[in-house]
């Protein structure tokens, strides 16, 4: 223990997430048990849901969290033979997650899955992300690689590669980015040429490939975007290929000419290797086409969108665990005396007694618990989009899911970073030392605003595509959801001023979107999109107000039967905070979008 501190720098008393809050969000707010009425989930009940959450909760607390500091301090290393060596604990973690059924939890029974709702799986996985985000990330990538083959692969690809991925014998990656192209996937140059036996030869390089090389499993399955020789330039010419590290030849698995060119040294997520890969240096890299030629980007978006929600869930969890650590520290760290205390020699008080510390804690709570609720709301729409009662329900949910995905990815990452910075601030001088965990979580969090599409890319997607798609159909559905939540909150006695504020915010977003959309239709696309990031900030702020009103309504119901319960009262205070301090920001953001403040638009590089 450091002299002068009252808690060990890493303390097993941190619960990662509040179990009571997770249950409250799952059942009181998002009605997970109601999903059991759908045929796809009829074999489940609250008992199986709770067992799933409890299993991952235990793994997170007993295996992933105790290894967090060790794995962060021992990043992957590239050996002379081209193999990336990971800390042995990563192998134990991945094997434990596979044994627990994490990799196939939401997948159908006929592929060996448990066919769990995404809502429940996302809540359970939040514990893993809070405990060790980079270790949980490898499982997420493997699941989504297998899902891509499940959706678009041939029976042979599913049998040969999908099944071992779900079993945890292989791991999977998504190989999109190239050094010269970055996020501009239409500019990739990795090439595929056909062979007479129906396979393809692949040549090219990819970078920032998470989990792209390691020594954990028998094989690594890369899902690679490449351009077939002679295909048109741009995104229409991009196809998707399955490229294993080792390929089957008869009864053997042989080297497939996939080489690790280097390991990238990241500020966070250090246990999950990020590498540069070269395909076909010896012109012997065999690939199998997945789905239809020229449909690579469209197919890959299944994996990318799932990963975006996964990143949002991880970001919410990393903000949440740092918030819980802040609370523990603030309750146990004595410093100073209460304002107005007359005896300068009197006993010190815990820093939580200081109003500004409570302000920082409540802001973290509002961000972290609001973000987690938003991610769970998005996951529930995924369940309805896949398994809703009829076409109308599924279509409606799909529209709302598309709209919420960039928001659920971005808000937890951007505002989660702010929450993590506040966790450092609460810890004071200890916060910026590596002896305490908040600085580690803040490093991990920063990656989330870049992973799976930067904030700017998500903003352009939201304003340039999602809110105007189908003549604003998704936006109208979203507004209906907010109005319904407001009506429910009024009915149970939630502060009517909050309900009025959410209704007004929904109207303001609709009016602003109509105005910006008209600007784009008139030909002024730059004027429409210049403040897309401000629009995303505005939209997300309203979405989280929606989630806080939903939580307030659920808490009010409970308070009617349990007056004075501190947990539910805390929910109402967090809602009050959001409506009082955050929702009013949207007026300023709307003005920026509407009036088009253009300093950065007119800025030349020689003026920087």
Query: Which residues are tagged catalytic?
Result: 452
- Contact between 205 and 281 under an 8 Å Cβ cutoff? The reply is no
Separation CA 268–CA 75 (nearest Å): 10
Using alpha carbons, select from 508, 503, 501, 487 the residue that is nearest to residue 576.
501
Residue pair 52/98 in contact by the 8 Å Cβ criterion: no
Query: Alpha helices of 427-495 — where are they, by DSSP H?
Result: 438-448, 455-461, 473-491
- 264: β partners: 274
The whole-angstrom separation of Cα 462 and Cα 406 is 6
Kindly state the helix (H) or strand (E) to which residue 278 belongs, with its residue range: strand 274-279
- Residues with Cβ within 8 Å of residue 43, at least 6 apart in sequence: 115
Tokens of residue 124, six digits: 């359970």
3-state secondary structure of 77: strand
Rounded distance, CA 86 to CA 291, Å? 33
* Residues contacting 294, CB < 8 A, separation 6+: 228, 231, 232, 236, 237, 238, 239
The alpha-helical segments, DSSP class H, found in 110-219 are 118-131, 133-152, 155-157, 163-167
* Contact between residue 546 and residue 489 where contact means Cβ atoms under 8 Å apart: no
Token pair 């809540």: residue: 123
d(C-alpha 575, C-alpha 370), whole Å: 9
Asked if 177 contacts 257 with a C-beta cutoff of 8 angstroms, the reply is no
What element of type H or E holds 303? helix 296-332
Q: Which ranges of 153-211 would DSSP assign to H, the alpha helix?
A: 155-157, 163-167
Q: Which residue in 489, 531, 482, 523 sits closest to 505, CA to CA?
A: 482
Burial level of 40, CB count in 10 A (0-12/13-18/19+)?
middle
Tell me which residue has tokens 């809070």. Answer: 130
Residue 279: phi, psi to the nearest 5? -105, 130
Tokens matching residue 220: 């690594």
3-state secondary structure 220-235: EEEEEEEEECCCCCCH
First to last CA, the chain: 47
Roughly what angle, to the nearest 10 degrees, separates helices 46-59 and 118-131? 20
Q: How far apart are CA 561 and CA 542, in angstroms?
A: 29
């Amino acid at each position: 223990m450091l002299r002068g501190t009252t808690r060990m720098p890493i303390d097993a008393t941190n619960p990662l997430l509040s179990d009571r809050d997770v249950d409250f969000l799952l059942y009181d707010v998002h009605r997970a048990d109601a999903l059991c009425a759908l045929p796809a989930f009829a074999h489940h009940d609250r008992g199986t849901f709770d067992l799933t959450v409890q299993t991952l909760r235990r793994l997170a607390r007993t295996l992933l969290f105790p290894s967090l500091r060790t794995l962060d301090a021992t990043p992957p290393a590239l050996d002379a033979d081209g193999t990336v060596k990971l800390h042995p604990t990563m192998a134990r973690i991945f094997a434990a997650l596979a044994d627990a059924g994490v990799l196939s939890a939401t997948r159908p029974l006929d592929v060996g899955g448990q066919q769990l709702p995404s809502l429940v799986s996302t809540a359970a996985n939040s514990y893993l992300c809070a405990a060790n985000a980079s270790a949980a990330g490898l499982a997420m990538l493997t699941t989504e690689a297998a899902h891509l083959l499940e959706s678009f692969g041939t029976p042979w690809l599913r049998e040969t590669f999908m099944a071992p991925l779900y079993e945890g014998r292989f791991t999977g990656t998504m190989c999109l980015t190239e050094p010269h192209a970055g996020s501009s996937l239409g500019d990739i140059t990795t090439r595929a040429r056909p062979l007479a036996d129906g396979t393809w030869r692949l040549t090219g390089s990819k970078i920032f490939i998470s989990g792209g090389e390691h020594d954990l499993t028998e094989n690594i399955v890369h899902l690679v975007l490449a351009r077939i020789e002679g295909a048109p330039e741009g995104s229409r010419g991009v196809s998707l290929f399955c490229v294993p590290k080792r390929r089957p030849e008869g009864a053997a698995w042989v080297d497939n000419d996939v080489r690790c060119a280097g390991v990238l040294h990241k500020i966070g997520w250090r246990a999950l290797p990020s590498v540069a890969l070269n395909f076909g240096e010896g012109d012997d890299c065999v690939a199998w086409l997945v789905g239809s030629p020229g449909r690579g980007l469209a197919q890959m978006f299944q994996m990318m969108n799932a990963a975006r929600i996964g990143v949002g869930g991880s970001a919410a969890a990393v903000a949440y665990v740092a918030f819980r650590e802040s609370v523990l520290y603030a309750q146990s760290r004595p410093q100073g005396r209460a304002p107005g205390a007359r005896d300068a020699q009197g006993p010190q008080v815990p820093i939580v007694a200081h109003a500004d510390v409570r302000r920082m804690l409540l802001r973290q709570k509002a961000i972290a618990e609001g973000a987690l609720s938003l991610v769970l709301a998005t996951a529930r729409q995924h369940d309805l989009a896949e398994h809703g009662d009829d076409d109308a329900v599924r279509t409606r949910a799909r529209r709302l899911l598309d709209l919420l995905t960039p928001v659920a990815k971005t808000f937890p990452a951007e505002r989660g970073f702010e929450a993590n910075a506040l966790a450092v601030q609460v810890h004071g001088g200890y916060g910026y030392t590596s002896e305490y965990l908040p600085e580690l979580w803040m490093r991990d969090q920063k990656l989330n605003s870049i992973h799976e599409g930067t904030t700017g890319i998500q903003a352009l997607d939201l304003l340039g595509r999602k809110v105007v798609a189908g003549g604003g159909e998704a936006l109208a559905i979203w507004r209906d959801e907010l109005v319904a939540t407001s009506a429910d909150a009024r009915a149970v006695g939630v502060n009517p001023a909050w309900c009025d504020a959410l209704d007004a915010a929904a109207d303001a977003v609709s009016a602003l979107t109509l105005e910006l959309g008209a600007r784009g239709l008139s030909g002024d696309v730059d004027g429409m999109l210049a403040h897309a990031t401000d629009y995303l900030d505005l939209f997300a702020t309203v979405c989280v107000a929606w989630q806080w009103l939903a939580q307030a309504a659920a808490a009010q119901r409970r308070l009617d039967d349990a007056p004075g319960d501190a947990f539910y009262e805390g929910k109402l205070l967090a809602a009050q905070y959001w409506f009082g301090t955050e929702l009013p920001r949207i007026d300023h953001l709307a003005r920026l979008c509407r009036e088009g403040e253009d300093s950065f638009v007119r800025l030349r590089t020689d003026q920087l």
